[in-house]
A = this chain, B = another copy of it.
Amino acid sequence: MQGKNLSDVIEAYLKKILANDEKVEISRSDIANLFDVVPSQINYVIKTRFTIQNGYTVESKRGGGGYIRIEKVKLLDNLDILDTLINAIGDSISQREGKAVIGTLLANELVTVNEADLLSAASDKQTLSIGNKELENEIRAKIMVSILNHLRYKS
């Protein structure tokens, strides 16, 4: 049913590798060739699906022997995770990024599935719809930071 678009397919390919290994190092042009897309689409995939909100860091090097390395963030403890996410949120966050944050919370077992659902509902675009996107993103950021701070005292 899914995987109709190539960005999703490339995402899945990389995440499959990352399910086994801590990190993956690729050649941008090789991956682009493998999936028959232009090289810059790899940047698009990374930028939209391997952000710090998603729990990944990315390094790269240009020139001969260049690479892109994607790594699952290795955080020491829950407080470390919360600090990182709060920092990444800043004072404005889109719904997409918000979902990524919730996914990371879930992956690190900082919230239950039910709690994650409630957060999704609270920060959903439909929910916060007030006809001003920037304000919506700011309110979403406030809600998420508030909740993340709250999680400090719980776990």
Contacts and interface: CB of A to CB of B under 8 A. Distances in A.
Interface string A67-100: 1000000000000000000000000000000000
Interface residues of A, number: 41
Within the oligomer, what is the number of copies of this chain? Answer: 2
A113 B114 CA distance: 12
Contacts of A112: 114
A109 interface: no
* Interface of A, helix, strand, loop or mixed by DSSP: helix
Interface in A104-155: 111-115, 117-122, 124, 126-130, 135, 138-139, 142-143, 146-147, 149-150, 154-155
B122 A143 contact: yes
Contacts of A1: 25, 67
A115 B115 contact: yes
Contacts of A143: 121-122, 127-128, 143
Contacts of A63: 5
A155 B64 CA distance: 40
Given A8-B65, A65-B5, A122-B122, A114 B155 contact: yes
Interface of A: 1-8, 25, 63-65, 67, 111-115, 117-122, 124, 126-130, 135, 138-139, 142-143, 146-147, 149-150, 154-155
